[in-house]
Structure 1
Amino acid sequence: RITIKSVDLELPIVKGTTNENLLIGAATMRPDQKMGEGNYPLAGHHLKQKNLLFGPLENIKTGAQIVITDFKKDYIYSVTSKDIISETDADVVEETNKKEITLITCDKAVKTEGRLVVKGELVDSFGHTN
């Protein structure tokens, strides 16, 4: 699950960027990605109803907290940047040594070549106690 309280976003994280997955939640973009390690890229749809899926990202601010969890451990990221890039700039999903998260959606709720990219760096992680 991904939670961003500051923009009221809470979605399941689903494996793979199929059309079905993109209509459910935040989709992983690489088969090898691991929470809390390297770059963790997630894609989501930006629909006309602004509060759905990744639509709220257009209101995110630098310093906002992004929490992802596998329900064993929570990984807390702090937003470091928010940019509009071209849909062809695929290097944002590549693996990095830096522990970061990359959230990608369309920059508008229409057919567009622009992509909104939000990056955050890992600031903390902790396990769940039963």
Structure 2
Amino acid sequence: MKSVDLELPIVKGTTNENLLIGAATMRPDQKMGEGNYPLAGHHLKQKNLLFGPLENIKTGAQIVITDFKKDYIYSVTSKDIISEMDADVVEETNKKEITLITCDKAVKTEGRLVVKGELVDSFGHTN
């Protein structure tokens, strides 16, 4: 995400180890470019690490992810704070969208920052 200077690897599963190195997939069945593609990441006190920069993302910003076969471009449609108990944001949908989830603060909190985007384009991967 160039607008907030964020570039991370996407790793499979929300283990503690994975959350310390990148954006972690939240469901075993999720596929890039199909339905809801939820990713979780830590929000640390050092604001430029992991998902910390998401607090500065704006509606309309681009989110680009890749599986190294195709690149998928999403446009941010919303940014909200929800309760950590609102797990329905990771559920599958008919919409082609991405959901990025992190703590709303870099300290122990019950709030979650949720950034949603809709798929606007996909094409063959370029280096």
TM-score of the pair, normalised by structure 1 = 0.96
**Contact kept? 2:66, 2:125, Cα under 8 Å:** no
Matched residues in 2 for 1:71 and 1:6: separation? 21
Q: Which runs of 4+ in 1 moved over 2 A?
A: none
* Alignment gaps of 5+ in structure 2: none
Pick the aligned partner of 1:107 from 101, 104, 109: 104
1:37 match: 34
The count of residues paired between Structure 1 and Structure 2 equals: 127
1:13-55 CA distances to partner (integer Å, 9 max, x unpaired)? 0000000000000000000000000000000000000000000
Relative distance call for 1:90 and 1:129 in structure 2 (3 A) is closer
Report the alpha carbon displacement of residue 129 of structure 1 after superposing the two structures with TM: 6.2
**For residues 29-108 of structure 1, what are the structure 2 equivalents within 5 Å?**
29-108=26-105
Report the alpha carbon displacement of residue 11 of structure 1 after superposing the two structures with TM: 0.1
Relative distance call for 1:129 and 1:13 in structure 2 (3 A) is closer
CA RMSD in angstroms, aligned pairs only: 1.0
* Alignment gaps of 5+ in structure 1: none
Relative distance call for 1:129 and 1:104 in structure 2 (3 A) is closer
TM-score of the pair, normalised by structure 2 = 0.98
